[in-house]
Amino acid sequence: MFPTQVTLVDVGPRDGLQNEAAPVSAAHKIELVHRLQAAGLKEIEVTSYVSPKWVPQMADNAEVMAGIRRAPGVRYSVLTPNMKGLEGALAVPAARPDEVVVFAAASEAFSQRNINCSIAESVERFRPVVEAAHVAGLKVRAAISCAVGCPYQGEVSADEVERVVRLMKGLGVDHCGVADTIGVGTPRAVQRAMERALAHFPLVEVSGHFHDTYGQALANIYACLEMGVHTFDASVAGLGGCPYAKGATGNVATEDVVFMLHGMGIATGIDLDRLVDAGAWISGVLGRPPASRVGKALLAKRGVAVAAPASAATASSATASATA
């Protein structure tokens, strides 16, 4: 039985822009958030409070959070991988998020290679973050990375997913997101991972986060809808992935998910035309056409020329002139 309504969390400002090689100004990030909320998005993942050495693009987190004009009914989330991050997110009361995100991998190989510690250790580090976030009245979302595939170990089993889900549940997180970080998941594998999240969290607190590297994300969302899952992350214009890293792509484009859902008679509260405008606008800032198929199709139908594919040089100069 399909849900009649779906909540989409636009993670473009964070998951999308964190991967951009050329700097994107705080003003453009703030404008993107404004355009997303004007299009009807009720949940926006804005930025991350992580080390600027690791992710320089998110170094302006405080400026972006402080610059957002809050819209009624919209929830803003940020990534906080440690106490330093949470303290940054809480520092200015008027710029606090509604929700914070912690993330751990389902694959032991990924955890060891990336953050040089075991999954259990990485989750344990979140304990004070979760406690302090709750004391501050924030909701805590957990993201389980590499839930269907890992660049180092290959396939990831449902048992491995459930192990992290249990650890996160033990920490007291409120929500569990199942993430296909490298976009290799296919519908049945995704359903098997989702089942394990649903064994510990209610339907309303489980979501899917699918990178579209292998073009499977819409099929995976459909497979989750069949299970009744009704919250998904997506990224306007399909932002994400490094434009200079071969094969890397962003999350499924929000425009594409909205088109599919509306076509199925499932409500999102999102105005697709305004969303396409937002996707075209940020793509123009970045100097490339939107990665969204729906965005491109609707812009072509309107007779709007989309930016030509940018080389590294033109991407930088387009961004530079746009930010000047």
Residue 283 CB contacts under 8 Å (≥ 6 apart), including other chains? 237, 289, 290, 291, 295, 306, 307
Report if residue 51 touches ligand HMG, rule: CB under 6 A: yes
Rounded CA gap, 175 and 21, in Å? 31
For ligand HMG, give the closer residue by CB, 157 or 317: 157
Report if residue 181 touches ligand HMG, rule: CB under 6 A: yes
For ligand HMG, give the closer residue by CB, 179 or 275: 179
C-alpha dihedral sign at 283, 289, 291, 292: positive
# residues contacting ligand HMG (CB under 6 A) = 23
Candidate list 16, 81, 250, 287; residue touching ligand HMG; CB under 6 A: 81
Report if residue 76 touches ligand HMG, rule: CB under 6 A: no
Binding mask 145-174 for ligand HMG (x = CB under 6 A): x-----------------------------
Report if residue 43 touches ligand HMG, rule: CB under 6 A: no
- Amino acid identity for residue 86 in this structure: L
Candidate list 4, 5, 27, 54; residue touching ligand HMG; CB under 6 A: 54
Residue of 117, 176, 224, 242 marked catalytic: 242
Rounded CA gap, 267 and 274, in Å? 16
- What does 55 bind: Mg ion, ligand HMG, none (CB cut-off 5 to 8 Å by kind)? ligand HMG
- Contact between 14 and 58 under an 8 Å Cβ cutoff? The reply is yes
Candidate list 3, 12, 16, 85; residue touching ligand HMG; CB under 6 A: 85
Residues between 122 and 141 with contacts to ligand HMG, criterion CB under 6 A: none
- Contact between 144 and 165 under an 8 Å Cβ cutoff? The reply is yes
Report if residue 66 touches ligand HMG, rule: CB under 6 A: no
Report if residue 176 touches ligand HMG, rule: CB under 6 A: no
Contact positions vs Mg ion (CB under 5 A): 15
Report if residue 103 touches ligand HMG, rule: CB under 6 A: yes
Report if residue 110 touches ligand HMG, rule: CB under 6 A: no
Annotated catalytic, 224? no
For ligand HMG, give the closer residue by CB, 141 or 296: 141
Rounded CA gap, 25 and 270, in Å? 26
Residues labelled as active-site residues: 242
Q: What residues make contact with ligand HMG under the rule CB under 6 A?
A: 15, 18, 48-51, 53-55, 79, 81-82, 84-85, 88, 103, 115, 143, 145, 179, 181, 209, 211
